[in-house]
Amino acid sequence: MSAPKSLRLISAFLLCVIFLLALGANFIAPYSYAKQFRDAPAAAPSAAHLFGTDALGRDEFSRLLYGTRVSLLLAPAAALLSTLIAGILGGLAGFLGGWWERAILASADLLMALPLLFVLLALRATLPLDVAPLISAMATFLILSLLGWPSSLRVIWAAARNIRESDFLLLARSSGSSPLRIIARQILPNLRPVLAAQFWVNIPVFILAEATLSMLGLGVMEPLPSWGNLLRGLENPSAFHANPWTIAPLILLILVVFCFQFILPSREDFA
């Protein structure tokens, strides 16, 4: 069931607002995400610290804004890379057929057979412990995108195969169009809705995967904030009772994932 248009518009609007707030973190956030106020650890919300401070005295509101930026910039980047890989491989499998198709599909099935979170842990464990926070963030999302393409590949392959067997492609070939022209004028425009749908589907998946990994201490490294490592504040119930704003990253994450669920393209959009 696809969401009503009004709900999709509201979701898109909310996502835009959150995205803009995250982009403007440098200007909106009152402090740097790493700045410590050693005289005010675990402080309650006040005029100086809107959402209070964490156990190390860092401003929660600033960290939330910067964390949102990390999650909302890197998850779409990872989704883009993942969709690109799936698009290239799925497109090749769909158009070339034969052994290419079998080999690509078998490798995708093989990768899908491996339990994602276990493989993520194994790959993440190969990274050195003293890796810089920004590198750890990029590595986390890179690993997610390198492991996340097989599920998209199946969908793109099916669409590409349909195009290969379509009458308009036969007509284009018989009229002497070059392969490059066929790809640019016939194939890519017809694959675009499927690629866009896979891109949107992957973003919340990667946001949630990063949150899970970071909460387990295997994602984005401190002091760089992300929604995942900000959620680690929830592990301490007493800190949560003292400062209810600790739950803000979770509310934002749920809101964003919900919005993504609502704005996902419906079947009618493909028609």
Partner 1 sequence: MTGSPILSDGGAVKRALRLFLCKAVWLVAVILVGGLFGATLVRYGPGYGVDERELDPRLSQASVEALRGQHHQNASLLSYYGHYLKSAVHGDFGTSESTQRPISELIHQRLPVTARTVLLGMLSAWSLALFLAMLGQFLRGWIFEVCSTLLTGFLLALPSTVIALLFVYFRAPVFLAVACVTFPKLFRFIHNLLVEAYEQPHVLAARARGIGPVRIFLRHVLAFAAPALFALVGVSLSLAFGAAIPIEALTDSPGIGQLAWFAAINRDLPLVVNLTLLVTLVTVAGNSLADYSGQLAARAS
Q: Which residues bind partner 1 (CB under 8 A)?
A: 1, 110, 113-119, 121-126, 128-129, 204, 208, 211-212, 215-218, 228, 231, 234-235, 237, 250, 253-254, 257-258, 261
Q: Is the Cβ of residue 55 or residue 170 nearer to partner 1 in the bound state?
A: 55
CA 203 to each of CA 51, 209, 231, 233: distance values in angstroms, whole numbers, following the listed order: 27, 10, 19, 24
Take residue 109 and report the two structure tokens written for it. Answer: 């099935």
Q: Is the Cβ of residue 1 or residue 180 nearer to partner 1 in the bound state?
A: 1
Q: Is the Cβ of residue 57 or residue 265 nearer to partner 1 in the bound state?
A: 265
Residue 80 near residue 199 (C-beta atoms within 8 A): yes
CB of 237 to partner 1, least distance (A): 6
Take residue 67 and report the two structure tokens written for it. Answer: 């964390």
CB of 185 to partner 1, least distance (A): 35
Rounded Cα gap, residues 32 and 45, in angstroms: 17
Residue 64 near residue 249 (C-beta atoms within 8 A): yes
Q: Is the Cβ of residue 91 or residue 204 nearer to partner 1 in the bound state?
A: 204
CB of 271 to partner 1, least distance (A): 18
Q: Is the Cβ of residue 122 or residue 170 nearer to partner 1 in the bound state?
A: 122
Chain-centroid distance of CA 252 in Å reads: 15
Q: Is 14 exposed, middle or buried (0-12, 13-18, 19+ CB in 10 A)?
A: middle
